[in-house]
Chain A
Amino acid sequence: MPESQGGQDVSISAENLGFTRRQERTPPLRNTVLADGSRIAVIGAGPAGSMFSYFLLSMAETLGLDVDVDLFEPRRFCHRGPAGCNHCGGIVSELLVQRLATEGIILPHDVVQRGIESYMLHMDVGDVEIATPLHEKRIAAMYRGNGPRESEPLDTQSFDGYLLELAQEKGANVVRRLVTDVRRDNDLMTVACADQHSERYDLVVVATGVNSHLLENLEGEFESFHRPARTKTFICEFRLGHELVRETFGPSMHVFLLDIPRLEFAAMVPKGEFVTVCLLGDRIDDDLINRFFSSPEVRNRFPGGVIPQQACHCYPRINVRAARPAYGDRLVVIGDSGSTRLFKDGIGSAYRTAKAAAKTAVFHGVDAASFKQHYAPLCRKIGNDNQVGKVVFGFAGLIQKTRFARRGILRMTSNEQAQTSRPRRMSGVLWDLFSGSASYTNVFVRTLHPAYIGSLVWNLVAGNVPGSAARHGRASGEEESHVRR
């Protein structure tokens, strides 16, 4: 939906030019290559904004280029609760942790709330634990702000706060102002703030995420810009205490495959004394939330089957179709406010878009043509993968809806988990789908493997023979079981 229809919605010329101002022909730009003294405004110090600043300043440093980066962020990630939060499930795949490490961004221990060792898949037909494949694709859970409302001050650090500090150490100047408007001003860009302050820049990088009103203002200012399409999700936090969280949830992320319409993905992530519940799908509403919490699979996660009062909840919007175009002269949109992976790995997308945009700005130029040539391909790649992702989630939806399919999945996965020697095709697919460790295209291609299909067909049949011992795979036996009912 996003990329294929993109060309129809937006005129070709607008797409070529990137952002154009309303009722104005863009005059040829001067000095579209960054030079000593160039000024760059980065709006938003979430992962995308901070990483962009970090990368740009690092790259400029290697070229001996002296540029100024103003990183605008009025909020403080040291605040507890929504004021300091950047709402998300707070999951980083091990792959990304390692990739960040190669960039010099080494996540300290106090940022990670809990290393996730396995996935626990909950279905009405039973539960199955999927262990970390090959002991390397671990994931990390952490808070984007400083934890939920009422949380105790812990020896932990906010992920976003940590990245912001890195950017600051590299030389970014953090400006505690709320940007309300970005305008093209002759040859330069003007950034205007809520307190009536405004400044001019050679490049403006929009990294506001999709939960900021600024994107709407940009649509008003730039005729050709279309902000991302969004859908409503739900996140809440339960404060259960360290002990209970450890006992009940262990080092596992709990994923629920439930037959609830419009629910695409539901998970519970243990983080210190809290558990984060994350519901993704199409227009998450109170009815859907209630059905989720009413299901026995979910209720049984809580002591006595009673859902406690949550400490914090919100309905963040997510990007379900990329901004178009995500660039223009002296303007580039990164992270969630531009392109991101559907449902998963938003921080990974922030990293990729931030790095590509920084590279383009430093080594090629800050005009629309440079971004089109060197930045847009990444956005297209993400968009194409999301198309595949939609197909994959379509399949997952089918499984959610059909009990016999759930039985097949349960059987195949639990058998794989019990036997270490055979390739774990279903486990790997599910792991990568849940964690976002691999691209949707990669996941999809693996499901086309004849061995996967063959195994799945067999398990569908075997898992659904009434009364058969084979119905539950090896788990029906006495030996240690990965199936939990």
Chain B
Amino acid sequence: MSGAKTAADQPATALFQLHAQQVEKLPPCQAQCPNSGDIRGWLGVIAQHEKNGLTLNQAYDRAWEMIADLNPLPATVSRICPHPCEDLCTRADKDGAVSINAVERFLGDWGLSRSLPLPRIDSEKHPESIGVIGSGPASLSFAYQMARRGYSVTLYERHSVPGGMLRHAIPDYRLPREVLDAEVERLLGLDIALRQNVDLGNDVDLEELREKHTLIFLGLGAQAARHLGIPGEQGPGVITGIDYLRQRKERSESLDGKRVLVIGGGNTAMDAARSAKRDGADVTVLYRRSETEMPAIGTEVDDARAECVDFRFLVSPTRIIRDGESIQSVQVQGMRLGEPDEQGRRRPLPVPGALQELAADIVIVAVAQASDWHGLEAVDTAHRWLRTRDDGKLDKDLWAGGDDRGPSIASRAIAQGRLAAESAHAELRGERGAGAASARNPINAGAVKTDFYANQQRSQTPRRPQTEWLSNPDAEINQTINYDQAIEEAARCMSCGLCFDCQQCFMYCNASGFTRIQETSPGNYFVLALESCEGCGKCIDLCPCGYLEARD
């Protein structure tokens, strides 16, 4: 025997303890959503409805309400959102990302078809009066969040109809105007006053509004497109993408047999190209970089191709050649890609001598957006966009949001409007901002055990047959998934970082350390009794969604 001796009170072996704790994590979908949508939350309400005593109808109602809490226009936004939420979906590498966008669209339509009312927060009325300039997504979101908190809100819109870019720049085949009308009408039903045909700087000035209202929100948008600044640009036959799309909404004109060149590679360029195609034109899109650098949504580019829109990459227009008034051709400079710029996109550089003329009748310029600062002389507009605090505050009684702070997708505009309202409300009520609400840590890559989940193919958004796209030019191409598909798709959510009641911890804990909660809800199914935990860590290893983790 060796003479080894231990003090009786000192353990001979320290067991490697893995005590579990239940910690909610931020899922990648929500982290990616500009509006921080609680996607996992509303998918969970649907997928787990039976566990929580809801009928499927009730679950859809509840899920819609959760979306509407952050976004008053779900049917509208879901139709045009490039859904970054799906990009990093944990399911993507297994059998395809959850079709979050398709379910949101279903719920948006569900809310409209059921006439669900937008959820109010405060029943008490506040005395302050709020003025909102513009009625695009940022303004509507701000107005909604203030109105539901009990403020009286007035929208000032310079056009005859509200909606901003949603109204003017998105073609009907992507967003039927009935959907937008219905959602805006529901929103205005929260006692929001709308003053149409009021142009800031002409019909009313900012000082006047500042006197009239306690605070003002600037949601001017960025509808004043930038020009190319090349010879021949001034004159008939050249139109900006947004102007073209707006005119077309009012009265569409035949472009039969016309050769249309669309300059630009963004979503407005795609909308303009596809609209011109519907008006009968031969359309070519010119873009100065290559296809991989195009900022437009990939499916929009594919669809434009399917509609026989031509693309010419690595060309930049240098001159519009006219014969008298009418356009004859556009001279373009061949480009090549150089080093990446500060945004990481490779910079286009001219190739010496590579000049070419492309025949054209009409040129649509959709290269970049700008805001119209007319009537905002009292505000610092020296920079290209408004510079605000993160919460949108610009001055003591001024908040701003949307494209006037730099162009982005509708979801970001909605988020900026909402955050501005939360900040404005807190200030008016003398409360602290609710900034710390989302202090959850993002879930680690690999924390979700994807092989636990059964394979289930992603349901595709149904589409109108391609043969009908151009023959029925205003009919919406994408369609809504049906009642059954919506829950099937919701059930594909892996619930990254939040308990979804798989019951593995409960069923397999040797110590019976988990007890089922009486009143369950998504994320809230079991309590863990720490005193009974034996530290084996089995539940942590088993937990498929990464909700259970080791305590330090």
Chain A contacts to B: CB under 8 angstroms: 74-76, 79, 81-83, 85, 87, 149, 176-178, 180, 194-196, 211-214, 232, 236, 286, 289-290, 293-294, 296, 299-300, 305, 307, 309-317, 485
B483 on interface, CB distance cutoff 8 Å: no
B1 on interface, CB distance cutoff 8 Å: yes
**A314/B536 in contact, CB under 8 A:** yes
Query: A82-B542, A315-B510 given as contacts; is B13 within 8 A of A296 (CB)?
Result: no
**B503/A82 in contact, CB under 8 A:** no
**With a CB–CB cut-off of 8 A, which chain A residues contact B502?**
74, 178, 194-195
Query: A83-B542, A211-B510, A309-B14 given as contacts; is B504 within 8 A of A178 (CB)?
Result: yes
Q: Which 10 A-B pairs have the closest CB atoms?
A: A82-B538, A314-B536, A83-B541, A293-B12, A305-B4, A294-B12, A307-B13, A194-B503, A293-B13, A213-B507
Q: A83-B541, A299-B2, A314-B534 are in contact. List 13 more A-B contacts (CB 8 A).
A: A82-B542, A83-B542, A194-B507, A195-B502, A213-B512, A214-B507, A232-B510, A294-B6, A299-B4, A299-B12, A305-B2, A309-B14, A310-B16
Task: Specify the chain B residue showing the minimal Cβ separation from A212.
Answer: B507
**With a CB–CB cut-off of 8 A, which chain A residues contact B144?**
none
Task: Please list 26 pairs of residues, one from A and one from B, whose beta carbons are closer than 8 Å in the complex, sorted by A's number.
Answer: A74-B452, A74-B504, A75-B542, A76-B451, A76-B452, A81-B538, A82-B542, A83-B449, A83-B541, A83-B542, A177-B454, A194-B503, A195-B491, A213-B507, A232-B510, A293-B11, A294-B6, A296-B2, A299-B2, A305-B2, A309-B16, A312-B16, A313-B15, A314-B510, A314-B536, A315-B534
Task: Specify the chain B residue showing the minimal Cβ separation from A293.
Answer: B12
Interface of chain B: mostly helix, strand, loop or mixed: loop
B51 on interface, CB distance cutoff 8 Å: yes
**With a CB–CB cut-off of 8 A, which chain B residues contact A315?**
510-511, 534, 536
**B12/A314 in contact, CB under 8 A:** no
CA distance in complex: A81, B542 (Å) = 10
**B537/A310 in contact, CB under 8 A:** no
Chain B contacts to A: CB under 8 angstroms: 1-2, 4, 6, 8, 11-16, 48, 50-51, 449, 451-452, 454, 491, 501-504, 506-512, 534-538, 541-542
**With a CB–CB cut-off of 8 A, which chain B residues contact A293?**
11-13
CA distance in complex: A55, B168 (Å) = 70
**With a CB–CB cut-off of 8 A, which chain B residues contact A79?**
541
**A196/B454 in contact, CB under 8 A:** no
Min distance, Cβ A228 to any Cβ of chain B, angstroms: 14
**A313/B507 in contact, CB under 8 A:** no
**With a CB–CB cut-off of 8 A, which chain B residues contact A307?**
12-13
Pick from B2, B8, B13, B508: contact of A211, CB under 8 Å: B508
**B507/A236 in contact, CB under 8 A:** no
Pick from A195, A213, A317: contact of B506, CB under 8 Å: A213
Best-surrounded residue of A75, A82, A286, A485 (most CB of chain B within 10 A)? A82
Best-surrounded residue of A195, A196, A305, A317 (most CB of chain B within 10 A)? A195
**With a CB–CB cut-off of 8 A, which chain B residues contact A314?**
510, 534, 536, 538
**With a CB–CB cut-off of 8 A, which chain A residues contact B491?**
195
**With a CB–CB cut-off of 8 A, which chain A residues contact B452?**
74, 76, 176
CA distance in complex: A236, B13 (Å) = 11
Min distance, Cβ B218 to any Cβ of chain A, angstroms: 48
**With a CB–CB cut-off of 8 A, which chain A residues contact B538?**
81-83, 85, 314
CA distance in complex: A180, B503 (Å) = 8
**B4/A289 in contact, CB under 8 A:** no
**With a CB–CB cut-off of 8 A, which chain B residues contact A213?**
506-509, 512
Task: Specify the chain B residue showing the minimal Cβ separation from A209.
Answer: B508
**With a CB–CB cut-off of 8 A, which chain B residues contact A82?**
536-538, 541-542
Min distance, Cβ B520 to any Cβ of chain A, angstroms: 12
